[in-house]
Amino acid sequence: MCRILPVLLAAALAVPACAGRAADGDDRDVTVSSVVPYFAGRTAVFSGGTARTLDQVPRPRLRGISGPVAVGTAGGIVYSTFHEKIRLDPLRTAEEQGVRAGTVLGHPSVRVSGESGDRVLADGAFAPAVSATGRVAVGLLDDPVQRFGREYDAAVAVLDNGAPTRWTDSGGLRTPVAWVGDALLYAVPTQARLPELWTATGPGDSRQLVPAGSFVAASPDRQRVLVAVPEPERDGRLTFTVLSLADGRVLARFATELWWVGLGSWTARQIVAVGAPEPGTLTALALDGDLRLHREVDFDVPAELAAPPNEVSVAPEQKSFGVATFVAGTTTPNPSWVLLSCSLADEACRRADLRQGTEYAGFVSNPST
């Protein structure tokens, strides 16, 4: 998502396509092309095929979270990973594998990979959100390890001079989503399909934005946010809603036919959001800041690919977006990851298949403004 990368990286990354060798040490002369920077396994690929090998595979192991995984910053890539102690075989029972309630399966951490190396920023942490000024927020687990059969509790914490300062209490898996200026958006999972969205400006200073919804984009002036809210009376279809960040007032609404939406972009010219109205289709919507629809483009997605996709990243300068997904039915340790590069001008997508067995794939982007 080239618009949302910090300024110091934008010049290096805002190019028509990114290409590199297949990841995870594969020596075959295979390249994949993506309209936005991406990672595949431990390899992050930038403009012109420039690549960086990370110490760990970026991935969100904890279930129920949907925060950032790999974030491009001026100092490198801040990413979430999971140090696996036991890999469960889904075809065997836990008892057959010697796993019981409380058995340690592993633990998450947030790392940064830059010119000085690859190091841990916070242990027992996940979902890093990095502000335009470089502040890092994470979800911080009360118990830093994942234990079989246990529920998780996590607070939102901001890393000040390397030490975490808790901005919230730890009820449920509180998950950073994005910074909007000095305000931090975070999600609180519930029994509903979409989590609660909250905003915080400091320790103990939080306010709910919506009781259920997903963040799509923030305005360039950092005064408004676009969220997607499910409407029960429309069978859960999403209504785009622009909210004032200062007081939560509803400034505009637009009812869509989407039931899922990924991260979008909001520039001075327009908002671009990509979602799914049904399996096998992606829809790109171009709207103005008052949610007046300017353009709607449908893209057919191969039926074999999982729906909805895992991640979307919009490159507004290129009038394109990237999609990270996988072939339905393929799972760890042999998932079949696929990147789609879709052009709004051509109204078509180009497919690139990653090497079989790539553990995880996604985009190096930053929804913060």
At 292, which CATH number? Answer: 2.130.10.150
Cis peptide before 58 (omega within 30 of 0): no
What's the mean pLDDT in 344-355?
Answer: 94
273, part of any domain: yes
Predicted local distance difference test score (pLDDT) of residue 127: 95
What's the mean pLDDT in 301-323?
Answer: 93
Predicted local distance difference test score (pLDDT) of residue 10: 31
328, part of any domain: yes
Nearest CA to 67 out of 161, 154, 213, 186 is that of 186
149 falls in which pLDDT band (50, 70, 90)?
confident
Predicted local distance difference test score (pLDDT) of residue 292: 97
Percentage of the chain surpassing pLDDT 90? Answer: 67
Is the Cβ–Cβ distance between 243 and 215 less than 8 Å?
A: no
What's the mean pLDDT in 137-148?
Answer: 90
198, part of any domain: yes
The encoded tokens of residue 80 equal: 């979430």
333, part of any domain: yes
How many domains are there within the chain?
1
What's the mean pLDDT in 2-31?
Answer: 37
What's the mean pLDDT in 123-150?
Answer: 93
**108 vs 1, higher pLDDT:** 108
Exposed, middle or buried by CB within 10 Å (0-12, 13-18, 19+), for 144? middle
368, part of any domain: no
The encoded tokens of residue 39 equal: 């990672």
Q: Which domain holds residue 155?
A: 2-363
369, part of any domain: no
Predicted local distance difference test score (pLDDT) of residue 17: 56
At 272, the amino acid letter reads: V
65 falls in which pLDDT band (50, 70, 90)?
low
Point out the least confidently predicted range of 184-198, 219-233, 255-269, 331-345: 331-345
Average pLDDT for the chain: 88
Percentage of the chain surpassing pLDDT 70? Answer: 90
Distant-in-sequence, close-in-space partners of 295: CB < 8 Å, separation ≥ 6: 284, 285, 286, 344
Is the Cβ–Cβ distance between 311 and 275 less than 8 Å?
A: no
Residue 185 in this model has a pLDDT that exceeds 80: yes
Residue 85 in this model has a pLDDT that exceeds 90: no
190, part of any domain: yes
CA 111 – CA 123 distance, rounded (Å): 9
Predicted local distance difference test score (pLDDT) of residue 64: 56
10, part of any domain: yes
Tell whether pTM > 0.85. yes
Residue 96 in this model has a pLDDT that exceeds 80: yes
